[in-house]
Amino acid sequence: MTSETYTLSVNGNNYQVVDGHPSESLLWVLRERLELSGSKNACEEGECGSCTVLVDGKILCSCLILAETAVGREITTIEGLGSDAEISDVQKAFVDAGAVQCGFCTPGLIVTIEHLLKEDPNPDELTVREAISGNLCRCTGYGRILEAVRIASKNLTLQSKEEENQ
């Protein structure tokens, strides 16, 4: 087995991987080498979105990214959202809206939704459903998740209005 050494930039931090195996996916490296196990491995074939991360501002399935090819890119995982001081509006909305049951789909969904609301702060329901169509949830039926997006969108809109007025 060839041994690979490379550096990944995740959530603004540099992580060095030593003794990597060339076939390791970014998901695997995040979870098992960098101990960032927030991104999940429900299918590892790009069909569930539980491994969704942001790479250079785009949402991607980290299970389908060969880890070493992510060198030089900006990777953001669930662990990089919100701040040390408090959780983000989307994260808070998920908790408040009852959108979390088992929670396995939650990190991937939150990454997707944070990205959606940055691009489109006030999406209609169909737009949201299409945006999260790559994130499977087996527990909730998506109802409370959509409500969480409504709440977060409203809060973000209020905040940006406040910022405008300042």
Partner 1 sequence: MGVIIAKSVNEACAVLAENPATTVLAGGTDLMVQANRGAHSLESVLDLSRIPELKKWTLQDGEILLGAGVSYTDLAETQLAELIPALAQAARTVGSPQIRNAGTIGGNLATASPAGDTIPVLVAMDAILQLKSSTDNREVPITEFVTGVKTNVLKSGEIIESIRIPVFEGPQEFLKVGTRNAMVISVVSLALVTDYLEKKLRVGVGSVSPVPFRATAAEEFISQEFDWEDKGHLSEKIINKFSELVANSIKPIDDHRGTADYRKHAVGVLAKRALERVCVSERS
Partner 2 sequence: MSGLQTVDTGTKGPRIGENAIRPDGIPKVKGEFIFSNDLRHPDMLWGGTLRSPHPSARIISVNTASALKMTGVYAVLTNEDLDGMPLYGLEHPDQPVLADGIVRYQGEPIAIVAADHPENVRLALEAIDVEYELIKPLSDSKLAQETEAIHPDGNLIREIDLIYGKSQGEGEITVEGTYEVGMQDQAPLGTESGMAVPSEDGGIDLFVSTQWLHADRDQVAACLNLPTEKVRLTLAGVGGAFGAREDISLHVHLCLLAMRTGKPIKMSYSRTESFHGHVHRHPAQMWYRHHAKSDGTLTRIEARLLLDGGAYASTSSAVLANATCFAAGPYRVPNVEIHGAVVRTNNPPCGAMRGFGCVQVCFAHEAQMDKLANALGMDPVELRLKNALRPGDQIITGQTITGTAPVAEVIETCAQHPSSVGSASKQMELPGGAGRTADPKNIVRGEAIAVGFKNLMFSEGFDDFSTASCQLLDGVATITCACAEVGQGFVTLAQQIAREILGVEEVILAPASTATVGSAGSTSASRQTWMSGGAVKSACEEVRIRLLSRIAESHELDVESLVMVDGGVASLSSDFFIDLKEATSEPIEVEEVYRHIPTFPLNENGQGDAHVSFAFSAHRAVVDVDQELGLVKVVELITSQDVGRVLNPLQLQGQLEGGAAQGLGLAVLEEINVVDGRILNPSFTDYLLPTALDMPPVEIAALIEQPEPNAPFGAKGVGEPPAISSTAAIASAVRNATGLELQRVPIRPTDIVFPEKIDND
Q: Name the site residues for partner 2 (rule: CB under 8 A).
A: 1, 21, 23, 31, 35-45, 47-48, 50, 77-79, 82, 87, 91-92, 94-98, 100-107, 110, 126, 128-130, 132-146
What DSSP assignment string belongs to 92-152? HHHHHTT--SS-SSHHHHHHHHHHHHHH-SS--HHHHHHHTTTS--SSSTTHHHHHHHHHH
Q: Does 109 bind partner 1 (CB under 8 A)?
A: no
Q: How far is the CB of 20 from partner 1 (least distance, A)?
A: 9
Nearest to 146 by CA among 93, 83, 104: 93
3-state SS assignment for residue 10? strand
Of 40-48, 79-87, 98-106, 156-164, the segment contacting partner 1 by CB under 8 A is: 40-48
Q: 72 or 112: whose CB is closer to partner 2?
A: 112
Q: Does 120 bind partner 1 (CB under 8 A)?
A: no
Residue 138 in tokens: 């087996």
Q: Does 133 bind partner 1 (CB under 8 A)?
A: yes
d(CA 53, CA 61): 6
Q: Which of 13, 16, 71, 118 binds partner 1 (CB under 8 A)?
A: 71
Q: 2 or 165: whose CB is closer to partner 2?
A: 2
Q: Which of 10, 17, 30, 59 binds partner 1 (CB under 8 A)?
A: 59
Task: Produce one character per residue of 80-107: b if its CB has 16 or more CB atoms within 10 Å, e if not.
Answer: bbbeeeeebbbbbbbeebebbeeebbbb
Q: How far is the CB of 105 from partner 2 (least distance, A)?
A: 6
| Helix (H) or strand (E) segment spanning residue 153 | helix 143-165
Tell me which residues touch partner 1 (CB under 8 A).
2, 4, 22-23, 25, 44-47, 49, 52, 58-61, 63-66, 68-69, 71-72, 112, 130-131, 133-135
